[in-house]
Amino acid sequence: MRKIFIVAVIVIIALALSLPAFAVPSGKAVVLEPKGAGKVVFDGKMHADKGFKCADCHPGVFMMKKGGDKITMKDIREGKFCGTCHNGTKAFNAKDAVSCTKCHKN
């Protein structure tokens, strides 16, 4: 019985440590196409690779449902949505004109 318990604990720990790798399935991304600016492709894997977890942003900063949030640059500049972190303190400042192409692509 003790051996089964030890094996179960090892399996649970191994699964828990591997979960961040599965947080954003390969090839999955959210594509936003704002009017007047290049599309934004958000690939959560990049954020996961930097140590962030889904729960860091969901459901607090962003809704869980794709397309549930209506994100505008005005909101971001006011510190909402992406602007929660992309404010020049935690990450690059989305307000800086030189930062546009870090998110917006043609």
The domain ranges of the chain are: 2-105
pLDDT at 21: 46
Q: 19 is written with which tokens?
A: 């979960």
Superfamily for domain range 2-105: Cytochrome C3 (3.90.10.10)
| 72: phi then psi, degrees, rounded to nearest 5 | -125, 160
Low-confidence ranges of the chain (pLDDT < 50): 19-23
pLDDT at 38: 87
For residue range 47-59, list pLDDT tens digits in order: 888 888 888 998 8
pLDDT at 14: 58
Q: 84 is written with which tokens?
A: 């929660």
pLDDT at 10: 73
Q: 92 is written with which tokens?
A: 């690059």
pLDDT at 22: 44
In DSSP notation, 47-106 reads HHHTT--GGGTTTTTS-SSTT-S---HHHHHTT-GGGGTTTTTSS--TTSGGGHHHHEE-
Measure the CA–CA gap between 63 and 11, rounded to whole angstroms: 31
pLDDT at 84: 94
